[in-house]
Amino acid sequence: MGRRRKKQKTTASTVDSKNENLEDFNANDQKTVDISTSDNEKGVIPTSENRELSSRENSPVSALSMRGKMDVAAFSDFDVEDDSEGIGRITDNEGKLEFQEELNENAYESQTRKKSEKSETLDSFVVSRFNPSSSNVVCYGRKDDKFDLCLIAMKHGESISFQGGVLVASIFGDSVIMGYRLRGVSSESSSENCIQVDLDSSLKFYPVFSPKTHSLLVIESAEKQETICKISHSGIIACSTTKSIINKLLPTINLVREGYDTILALRDISWCGIQGIERVTSCFNNIFSGNLANYDKKDYEIKQSRCDFFNIKGFYPIFEAAPGITALKIPHSWENSTNQLVADTLDFNLPPISIISGHKNMGKSTFSRYLVNNLLNICPKVAYIESDVGQSEFTPCGLVSLNILSSPILGPPFTHLQQPYRSYFIGHNSPRDDPDYYLDCLRELITVYRRDIACGPEYGMYGDEQIRVPLIINTHGWSKGMGYDLYLDIIDFAKPTHIFQFYSTTIINQNLPPLPEYIISPTNQEPPKVSFVETINTSGPSNKYSASDRRLLTLFSYFYSTSATAVKQENVKWWAFDQPLIRQVPWCLDWRKGLTKGIFMLSGEVPLSQLLYALNGSIVGLIGDIDNSYTSEQVDKEMKESREQGSQIQIPNYFPCPDFSPPSPTEYTCLGLAIIRSIDPTSHTFHILTPLPSSALFKTNAIVKGTLELPVWLMLDHTKNSSLGVCGVQWKRAPYMSIEAGEGVGNAAQKIRRNIKRRGQKSNI
């Protein structure tokens, strides 16, 4: 009783101080600078001084990051299990400071009780440092043309943060988005007073996406940097009409008098169709549409008119802080580490290999994007190995992949999915069921990189010089137990030259233990450079959308992408959300001819007689040979063998694991994911929905099934508001769906919760 009262008092004070500190934390960068400068590259674990720092203040970050999975379970309908953490509870019963733990407990209680208060904290950084006026924003005025274009003139230090999507091209001066430097195509000549874009030069627009699900992106004007080499990346090439329109608008910007340093051209990208993703499920409403709904009614006109200056559909610059949105602010420690890597890339003989590691939700993916963009400033291509199966950057979940990037990454993963150079289907959201296979696949990816890509002649630059393609490896966020062992194994065979390890000053138990000696000072080679990277403040949108939400976004984006996505064709839809999957005409795959290898079942022990029950209406991976050396004679032989079985329905070859080994990474590559939407056993056909082009499909010779679950949203028709069923079929007759709440005990499928505590247990989350 008495203890309870005491708790409540502390809670109240915690809440107040929490708010103050949040403002401090945001505005004041000093702490981060101090910590990073105390690092040296040999790796310094957070000292006791740092530890004290965190416990002294009522660390807001710890309170906010400790939402755990409790809230998501209570407030979201989706699967709570976040597999990247692996088996077992986080038993952090090792002696922690007692009052740190009580502090956490209080903060946790207060946080769960006052969830709404968290979302009301405003991030002052999200406001654009830019005053739009008729002198610095010039729009192309023809409304009937449906061609939105505007020119923006900025000075150093100005920045625009925005929500939505836009195409950006740099006309004059330098600007930086997410670490990628856009260089102006035209330069000011002293003789002329105004700038013109050369109609013969290539002007490229880059798509930038900034939805509410992640921190909003910021377009900054930057100091001009002299470059040695001019590197071009693929983007949308502007046609001559666009260029001439720009040239017409340019004279209206008085460059010299106003002292502008950067001029950018913006065009709308709303034709790509990504906004359609908001309608697939209601929880992603308005992630791209502007935040105008949140403004007070009386200020509405003022805000509206500021956006109107730009007149670009789908582009909503932020001029006022609003709850729930934050902008991406790159901490100094990130800049320092990245600059070091860039310098090393230019110096080294061989391209550097970097590994990014740390607990989940620390900002590893964001940092990796930042790193890639910075490297793209000096290299035409960057290689990226994704080893986080649950939250991949360029592919849907369940795959490990090696990607070659030749254009900047300006947006969250679901806006830039691309076909990898090589990938393997792991089939789960975490490698915990078959870590050996996972490591085999990763080993093979790294071998392929070393052999084919690192200094491959086909990636040769202009001239005789061989191009070096640096590699970035993103690891999973599973930092304890088996996950940590996997991490050490990856370092062992990747032999990175740079290791970026994330740490948090506030949640100590999430930090990785110090790297073992054999990594820090290996006997026969250069030791890797280890830098410690501070985690960014993770309050804000990344807390509202969990990892499973992001997986959903990626799956939606993957299955609804069109053939235009790969080539980035202009003015053609890249995502076709208007036609729900259940209405799409599927491919028919005759498994007698098409699956010459067979069907792999990665987990569980589904007996062959029940195989079709497991496959109907599920997500599978399509795999094919790496080299197309599978000759037709072999095909005929295999088909003959199966025919001799003499059964009425010819069965494909079946390989359940672990009785059989999973598809070998040296022989097979994963072509992509597909949904088996229905099966017709009498005609031996699988009906398949997949975004892959037919050239890839014809290479398929096997199907792999893991445990990836098909989200219910993909089984519904989101364009129709039917409450009765789907496609004219009532819910009762639609397979795999039930509207009944479900009676009886044990009706729910197993949900895993790892944050439960016992009274009197000393533990931290």
Partner 1 sequence: MIKIPRIVPWTSPEEFQQVRQWLYAESPNLREIGVKRVKAWSSRGKVPHAIVSTAAFVEASLRDDFRYGKITNHELRLLYSMVFIRFVNGMVDPVQQGTFALSIASIAVKLNMPLWFVEMRHAGTHEHLPSLQILRNGCRQALQWLNENYWLSQKPLHSTQIGKIRSLILQYKELRKEDINGTNNRDPSRKVVGKIMELVSEEYISESIIPILLEPGFLVPMSKKKRALAQDLSLSPESKKIWSVMLQVFDKEWSTFGNELILGILEVINTDGDDIKSDLNNQEIQTAPQTSSSYLITLAAWIKHIIYTHYNGKSFTNLDVNNILEFCLRKPNTNTQLILQMMMEYDEELKTSVRSFVNYIDKKLHSEDVIHNIEDIPKITEEDMNAEIIKLQFELDKANKLMMDPSNSSSVISENDNTLSSNEESAWKMYARDEWKACALGCLPDGQVPCLDLPLELDGPSTVIPSNM
Q: 655 phi and psi, to 5 degrees?
A: -125, 85
According to CB under 8 A, which one of 610, 661, 664, 666 is a site residue for partner 1? 610
Q: Tell me the H-state helices in 601-703.
A: 611-615, 632-643, 694-697
296, two tokens: 């007070």
d(CA 105, CA 113): 12
589 sits near partner 1 (criterion: CB under 8 A): yes
d(CA 10, CA 103): 9
115 sits near partner 1 (criterion: CB under 8 A): no
C-beta of 45 vs 696, nearer to partner 1: 696
Structural contact between residues 555 and 714, judged by C-beta atoms closer than 8 angstroms: yes
113 sits near partner 1 (criterion: CB under 8 A): no
Q: How far is the CB of 762 from partner 1 (least distance, A)?
A: 13
Contacts of 681 (CB under 8 A, 6+ apart): 612, 649
Q: How far is the CB of 322 from partner 1 (least distance, A)?
A: 23
Q: Residues 60-99 vs partner 1: string with x where CB under 8 A?
A: ----------x--xx--x----------------------
Residues of span 624-683 touching partner 1 by CB under 8 A: 647-649, 651, 675, 677-682
According to CB under 8 A, which one of 248, 588, 641, 658 is a site residue for partner 1? 588
According to CB under 8 A, which one of 495, 710, 754, 762 is a site residue for partner 1? 710
According to CB under 8 A, which one of 583, 658, 660, 661 is a site residue for partner 1? 583
432 sits near partner 1 (criterion: CB under 8 A): no
Residues of span 320-359 touching partner 1 by CB under 8 A: none
Choose one: 118-126, 301-309, 529-537, 602-610; the region binding partner 1 (CB under 8 A): 602-610
According to CB under 8 A, which one of 1, 228, 256, 748 is a site residue for partner 1? 748
Contacts of 566 (CB under 8 A, 6+ apart): 418, 419, 693
Residue 604 three-state SS: coil
Residues of span 142-171 touching partner 1 by CB under 8 A: 146
Choose one: 233-241, 327-335, 547-555, 590-598; the region binding partner 1 (CB under 8 A): 590-598
According to CB under 8 A, which one of 23, 572, 638, 754 is a site residue for partner 1? 572
C-beta of 353 vs 716, nearer to partner 1: 716
556, two tokens: 């939606």
According to CB under 8 A, which one of 21, 119, 234, 270 is a site residue for partner 1? 270
C-beta of 116 vs 632, nearer to partner 1: 632
47 sits near partner 1 (criterion: CB under 8 A): no
d(CA 547, CA 413): 12
314, two tokens: 């789908």
According to CB under 8 A, which one of 19, 247, 311, 707 is a site residue for partner 1? 707
C-beta of 89 vs 443, nearer to partner 1: 89
239 sits near partner 1 (criterion: CB under 8 A): no
Q: How far is the CB of 606 from partner 1 (least distance, A)?
A: 5
C-beta of 77 vs 485, nearer to partner 1: 77
Q: Tell me the H-state helices in 603-726.
A: 611-615, 632-643, 694-697
Cβ burial 704-736 (10 Å sphere, 16+ → b, else e) = bbbebebbebbbbbbeeeeeebbeeeeeeebee
Task: Give the position of tokens 């229905």.
Answer: 678
d(CA 152, CA 133): 10
DSSP letter, residue 453: I
271 sits near partner 1 (criterion: CB under 8 A): yes
According to CB under 8 A, which one of 44, 734, 754, 762 is a site residue for partner 1? 734
Q: For partner 1, how many residues bind (rule: CB under 8 A)?
A: 119
Contacts of 415 (CB under 8 A, 6+ apart): 165, 207, 209, 211, 274, 557
Choose one: 12-20, 210-218, 470-478, 737-745; the region binding partner 1 (CB under 8 A): 737-745
Structural contact between residues 483 and 388, judged by C-beta atoms closer than 8 angstroms: no
CB neighbourhood size of 116 (10 A): 8
